[in-house]
Structure 1
């Protein structure tokens, strides 16, 4: 089978796309023919082995698992003999590991029915980014009737966060790049401001919840946007690669903001995405059309290295799908 893998950490030039042995499922696994995946910043970080804390999970000296990829949508071709409730031919999706390949073995706990109304590439764009956004929103007691600010509203997580908060009855404020302002407004944001316009950012009135998917600003910059008693939600997978702390500790650096938040009467919540947590709720929202993956670019698996380069260099809005 074709797969995207690396034998050592480093830049994306270390990635290879070549034939790998087709995996054999264990008794508690499903063998899935992957139809689509998606490209996430996490895929780039894992391929590079940064922040360095990633290596404690992925392997210190070299990667324990060569094939990369987190999201998948596909068709079951083999069912382990300990598994019930699934059959060959079922269309499923979710978050797993080693998904940038023609086939992947998935634990039953990481397999969920694909929403019928979604294509494979749309479904594959939802698990990691969509569930990170959902988990971020759940850090607030409620968002109904509240002002919710999404920093990085046009990104993969941000586009889901805007739609989710709006569907829950929040008044959504988005911060995005100039080229994506109208897109964010179309997703349900009542107010959208350009992050490149300082005066525009000053117009943002205090919000009850701030969901920061970028983490490029210090707490002093965020404070005026956050109402007294408000919740500042930091998306833990976000890494400031221009910072030494970011490259070393990554999400751990966000904890340094905790004392500042408490000092100013605000609460800090940090999201380190839990795989597939909330996917049943997400499936319902996707099926009903209340939430839709925003796919702005599509690549073939054979062009996966170019897809990662595009993500790194262009920082596009929405999601990049990877068709197998």
Structure 2
């Protein structure tokens, strides 16, 4: 099978199209012919090792000191069709159209992948009937992260929610989910993304290149900083009493200060990545089929141009998701 192999840490030119052995499913696994996958910011950060300094050495120890060895195919989410099943599989059958998150095992940049029908790492479910493969592939990572944090925020109808980094994969789902939960949503991102944010339900938008939300006098019930790049003290000041500050990618200082604030005031700082659950992916599927949320796709690339897709995501300009199409029938 064709696959994009991750051959070195650093720039996207370390992603190379090569032939690899087609995987064979174990008894509890399904073999999926992948139709589409995505390039997430997480894929790019791992590829380049642009991650917090504390984690760089552990990643190298786990995955290879000089070059990737344990994980050699990136790609965290995908959609496709089940080609074969192991003898113990009960939830799926040949021909099922599915979407999935692979968790930290990655493997989406390939024509085929084997996934367990039930696992503690990653999730697998039948894809929404009203989505193409490309649209479905963009749901699991961003959708599950957004759902996790907004539930932690305990959003109530009529509350004011500010989402920082609203124009990315997690952010576009967070805007739609917060709107679904009845919030008045303000999206913060760069100039080129503001019209898109309005189109998916943001009542207010703020161009961070021109305006600092911490200085406009507005306060919010929930602030969700997806990348953890906003001013910590400014965000706390912009929270109402009993407000929640959700940080998707916190640094050590934010973690320490967050615990102190949570202990000493009515405002709560909430951190921590999502634990992916099949029932949460099923919930997102229900909302999609009801027309409440959708995927936002910026660009599409064929598998052969995965490195170019990474270069684009590295710019930080993507709106929603960047999709990699694999083989035929990606429109189904």
Unaligned runs of 5+ in 1: 237-249
- Residue in structure 1 matched with residue 237 of structure 2 by the alignment: 224
Distance, in Å, in 2 between the alignment partners of 1:199 and 1:39 is 29
- Residue in structure 1 matched with residue 129 of structure 2 by the alignment: 116
Evaluate the alpha carbon distance shift between residue 301 and residue 90 of structure 1 in structure 2; reply closer, same or farther with a 3 A threshold: same
Query: Pairwise CA RMSD of aligned residues?
Result: 1.9
3-state DSSP of counterpart to 2:92: coil
Distance, in Å, in 2 between the alignment partners of 1:207 and 1:105 is 44
Q: Does the Cα contact within 8 Å between 1:8 and 1:63 map onto a contact in 2?
A: no
| Aligned with residue 82 of structure 1, among 88, 104, 110 | 88
| Aligned with residue 309 of structure 1, among 285, 298, 311 | 311
The yes-or-no answer on 1:142 pairing with 2:146 is no
3-state DSSP of counterpart to 2:152: coil
Q: Which runs of 4+ in 1 moved over 6 A?
A: none
Evaluate the alpha carbon distance shift between residue 18 and residue 204 of structure 1 in structure 2; reply closer, same or farther with a 3 A threshold: farther
Distance, in Å, in 2 between the alignment partners of 1:194 and 1:4 is 36
The yes-or-no answer on 1:47 pairing with 2:51 is no
Residue 290 of structure 1: how far off its partner (Å):
0.5
Q: How does 1:34-183 map to 2 (within 5 A)?
A: 34-51=34-51, 53=55, 56=58, 58-61=62-65, 62-96=68-102, 97-109=106-118, 110-183=123-196
Residue 204 of structure 1: how far off its partner (Å):
5.5
3-state DSSP of counterpart to 1:316: coil
- Residue in structure 1 matched with residue 219 of structure 2 by the alignment: 206
Q: Does the Cα contact within 8 Å between 1:194 and 1:201 map onto a contact in 2?
A: no
Distance, in Å, in 1 between the alignment partners of 2:73 and 2:57 is 15
Evaluate the alpha carbon distance shift between residue 322 and residue 199 of structure 1 in structure 2; reply closer, same or farther with a 3 A threshold: closer
Query: What is the TM-score with the length of structure 2 in the denominator?
Result: 0.88
Residue 201 of structure 1: how far off its partner (Å):
5.5
Distance, in Å, in 2 between the alignment partners of 1:81 and 1:45 is 37
Evaluate the alpha carbon distance shift between residue 210 and residue 63 of structure 1 in structure 2; reply closer, same or farther with a 3 A threshold: farther
Cα shift readout 1:176-201 (whole Å, capped 9, x = no counterpart): 21111121112111111111123666
3-state DSSP of counterpart to 1:308: helix
Cα shift readout 1:58-98 (whole Å, capped 9, x = no counterpart): 52524412111110100000101111121110000010120
| Aligned with residue 294 of structure 1, among 283, 293, 296 | 296
| Aligned with residue 321 of structure 1, among 302, 309, 323 | 323
Evaluate the alpha carbon distance shift between residue 302 and residue 257 of structure 1 in structure 2; reply closer, same or farther with a 3 A threshold: farther
Evaluate the alpha carbon distance shift between residue 54 and residue 170 of structure 1 in structure 2; reply closer, same or farther with a 3 A threshold: farther
Cα shift readout 1:31-83 (whole Å, capped 9, x = no counterpart): 00000011101111222234252664652524412111110100000101111
| Aligned with residue 283 of structure 2, among 277, 281, 284 | 281
The yes-or-no answer on 1:31 pairing with 2:31 is yes
Structure 1, 149-158 or 275-284: larger mean CA deviation: 275-284
Residue 10 of structure 1: how far off its partner (Å):
2.6
Evaluate the alpha carbon distance shift between residue 44 and residue 258 of structure 1 in structure 2; reply closer, same or farther with a 3 A threshold: same
Structure 1, 198-207 or 160-169: larger mean CA deviation: 198-207
Cα shift readout 1:89-126 (whole Å, capped 9, x = no counterpart): 00000101201100001110232011010000000000
Structure 1, 7-16 or 119-128: larger mean CA deviation: 7-16
Distance, in Å, in 1 between the alignment partners of 2:195 and 2:248 is 24
Q: Does the Cα contact within 8 Å between 1:193 and 1:201 map onto a contact in 2?
A: no
Evaluate the alpha carbon distance shift between residue 54 and residue 4 of structure 1 in structure 2; reply closer, same or farther with a 3 A threshold: farther
